[in-house]
Structure 1
Amino acid sequence: MFLQYPWQVIPDEIIKPLQDAARAGNSSLYVNGIDPGFANDLLPMALAGTCESIEQIRCMEIVDYATYDSAVVMFDVMGFGKPMDQIPMLLQPGVLSLAWGSVVRQLAAGLGISLDGVEEMYVREPAPEAFNIASGHIPKGSAAALRFEVLGLVDGVPAVVLEHVTRLRADLCPEWPQPAQPGGSYRIEISGEPCYAMDICLSSRHGDHNHAGLVATAMRIVNAIPAVVAAEPGIRTTLDLPLITGEGRYAAA
């Protein structure tokens, strides 16, 4: 995910061989999707382009993951269903900043600002009773809700923020931000002049919000192929690709 915008996220000695190989092979590399992806690069930057001033950009995923069917991701990586004192891979120090640092770094680059640093924070809440999800069983008292932030700081103040609010049941942590539709949504908040709050609600004729998100993730990449092929060799980002319009995707219902 960090290759969405790798600069200052991973070491230059890792980036340089990729850039060199791409140029030698006349190839372009573009990593994107929905999150990291268009929900926190294309859309917030489009809104920011209409602002007179900007104090903060916050990009949020607020989603119920109960139907996400991957035991490895849900239990091993994210730590759901595990004891609260067991820290999963995702929440080990530095992992959130590695996984989503590309979001705050690219937004900062789009705004033309330099970040003093990137910080991360999280909070988890236990299951009030045992229940089942698509990936398996959630014991009572085990991790069942997660909220985390990756913050890009300027003069010690968060200027760009990536936030996830992840529940395994809609009634968990009602005091946390709520989605704009049942199941989940993405939200962009800009504090400035003017201020914005935009909710992105995904749905599908072939599944729930999670299915819709997977389709959107894939099609963001597929639809970008012509622009990526036409781009200069190297690592390409949303900042330097043209607008991807979905040309050729119209089909009458």
Structure 2
Amino acid sequence: MTLRVVEWSTGTVGRHAIAGIDARPDLELVGVWVSDLAKVGRDAGELAGLGRDLGVVATNDRDALIALKPDCIVHTAMTDDRIFEAIDDLISFVEAGINVVSSGPVVLQFPAGILDVDLLDRIEAAGRTGNASLHVNGIDPGFANDVLPLAMTSLSQRIDELRCLEIADYSTYYQPVVMKTIFGFGQPMDETPILLYPGVLAMGWGSVVRQLAAGLGVRLDEPLVERHERVAADRDYSTVSVDIAEGTMAALHFEVIGQVGGVDRVVLEHYTRTHPDQCPDWPKPAEGDGCYRILISGEPEMTVEFTHRGEHGDHNVSGMIITAMRLVNSVAAVVDAKPGLVTALDLPPVTGRGLVARP
């Protein structure tokens, strides 16, 4: 059965989602939403850089797209700076009977213990009203720190600590709001960026820690623990999102920790550089400029390193692709899922079915 899909936004993730929807034989792109008036009326194939038209014209008419009654919306719009407004959008889609896979807000990856119960009840009520499901995922938060580490723990005899790391150079990551305003890169060291206000790290990545704990059947101490380390630039740097002057913030290491009895048991950790030469004492990928690393301490000790790169070599581009495709490839499973909020713990294995290259 072919599922009718609307792509919601055509930015750094959305353009790759369009290409992915087009590549899957079981999906049909029937609509595209854009916020930029300059994109209205342009073909989806052009916006995705496919070099050919798809016969679907972008619009900013929200009601017209909902009236199409698609089976699913692939939602990749920016949500980091409008979390609760975005949640309202997603609820309205589900209430209208449209299943949704979304890259954010990431707190919805596993919001239990983070979001207000009344808000979670609204999502579940919308699911019952529309008989539709909502799944928020991607790569981080997402596959790299939910499905992948939990699959690895199936090999464990004893688990002392589960640690999920992102180690990456963000110099080619184009998200100016995220890089400058949220992370604080290029900002004075005596200013606190939004990400490092107390509780924000636990809101942004606590869903990862809590979902892993739920998958392992562990009850965590409350609240989650946050740790961070900021590093000033030793010289001027330039990235695609922000210029970083000497002495301003250039690198960030943070942890969100789930403890049991005061002992670290489930940890989400990021080492974020804005140039590969920074912080030589920090962990580095075994190859390339970025990786996800799973460390399982116990019996046996296990390490998994997951790297990715685009056809042209840039890991930040491929990071957008794998984020998009985790959503696109989940569409059928989410359409078949129970109504309401669906997490990775609820879904069957998601694969790249239908994507094997043909002669």
TM-score range, shorter chain: over 0.9
Residue in 2 that maps onto 1:15 = 120
CA contact (8 A) 2:185 2:242 kept: no
State the shift of 1:180 in Å.
2.0
Q: Distance in 2 between matches of 1:236 and 1:160?
A: 22
Residue in 2 that maps onto 1:146 = 252
Give SS of 2:279's match. coil
Aligned residue type for 1:156: G
Aligned residue type for 1:174: P
Percent identity of paired positions between Structure 1 and Structure 2: 51
Aligned residues: 253
Q: Matches of residues 1-253 of structure 1 in structure 2 within 5 Å?
A: 1-117=106-222, 118-206=224-312, 208-252=314-358
Q: Distance in 2 between matches of 1:252 and 1:193?
A: 42
Q: Distance in 1 between matches of 2:288 and 2:313?
A: 14
If asked which structure has higher relative contact order (CA below 8 Å, sep 6+), I would say 1
TM-superposition CA deviations, 1:178-200 (whole Å, max 9, x none): 11222111100001111111100
Please list every run of at least 4 consecutive aligned residues from structure 1 whose deviation after the TM superposition is greater than 2 angstroms.
none
Q: What's the TM-score once normalised by structure 2's chain length? A: 0.69
Give SS of 1:24's match. helix
State the shift of 1:42 in Å.
0.4
CA contact (8 A) 2:209 2:256 kept: yes
Q: Distance in 2 between matches of 1:206 and 1:19?
A: 42
Q: Distance in 1 between matches of 2:311 and 2:123?
A: 39
Q: Distance in 2 between matches of 1:125 and 1:220?
A: 32
24-33 or 171-180, larger mean C-alpha shift: 171-180
Q: Is there any run of 5+ residues in structure 1 with no aligned partner, and where?
A: none
Give SS of 1:128's match. coil
Q: Distance in 2 between matches of 1:77 and 1:207?
A: 27
Aligned residue type for 2:174: D
Give SS of 1:39's match. helix
Q: Distance in 2 between matches of 1:38 and 1:77?
A: 23
Q: Distance in 1 between matches of 2:242 and 2:160?
A: 42
Q: Distance in 2 between matches of 1:85 and 1:138?
A: 15
Give SS of 2:114's match. coil
Aligned residue type for 2:171: A
State the shift of 1:206 in Å.
4.2
CA contact (8 A) 2:237 2:275 kept: no
